[in-house]
Structure formats: structure tokens, C-alpha cells
Amino acid sequence: MNDIGWLATFNDPDAWMDTNHANHVMPHAKELIEIYEEAWGARPFPQIDWFRALAGYKFAIITGFNLMLHRRGKRDDPVWETTKDSMESLLLRAKALLN
């Protein structure tokens, strides 16, 4: 469930506001969950929104940590300067999924 929540979060256009996530190669979150539900034989998928919210929360934290490392010169990775634009939207999406 954790893995599906993670994959769904990365394919949820409502969770991302940065330019790195403008194009989605995989199916959007809802379609991806439906594929897994069909394979699992369970509808709705038990507690999937909780796992999606957890993934959004975790990636917002990961983004902040990696941005800090980049800005301090400990890990040169400028992609985090773009990804940071989605920190707030990831947290807002996580909150919305829990309501």
C-alpha cells in the first residue's frame, strides 16, 4: 500500500506545482489506483488516501532536506530549486486527501 500511495502521489497533478512535474508518463493517480484495485480484487483500496497523504508529506520533507544540502554546497543538485515549488502543494494535497 505504501508503494502504491507513493506512485499515485507522483502521478497526481494536484500535488505538484513545479515545472519538473508538468508531464506525467504513467497513468494519473486515480487510474493507477483503479489498475491496482482490479489486480488486488478490492474496491475501494483500503486506506489508500492515507498512504497517498503520507507520501506527499514525506516527499515535502525530503525536498526540504535536499534543498538545504544543495544550498549549503554539500550536494550540488539544482533540481531541488525547482522541486521546492511543490512543497506547499504536496502538503495541501496530503491534507485534502485526509479530509
Between 22 and 98, the higher pLDDT residue: 98
Distance CA 8, CA 5 (A): 5
d(CA 71, CA 44): 42
When pLDDT is averaged across residues 33-57 and rounded to a whole number, the result is 89
User: Alpha-carbon distance 61 to 10, whole Å?
Assistant: 15
Cβ atoms within 10 Å, residue 80: 21
Q: Position of cell 497526481?
A: 12
Q: Count CB-CB contacts under 10 A for residue 11.
A: 20
pLDDT of 68 > 80? The answer is yes
Domain extent for 90? 2-37+47-98
Does 91 map to a domain?
Answer: yes
Q: Is the pLDDT of residue 50 over 80?
A: yes
C-alpha closest to that of 70 among 82, 53, 52 = 82
**The total number of structural domains that make up the chain:** 1
The residue type at 50: W
In a domain, 69, yes or no: yes
- Residue 98's pLDDT band, with cuts at 50, 70 and 90, is very high
Position 42 in a domain: no
Q: 22 in a domain, yes or no?
A: yes
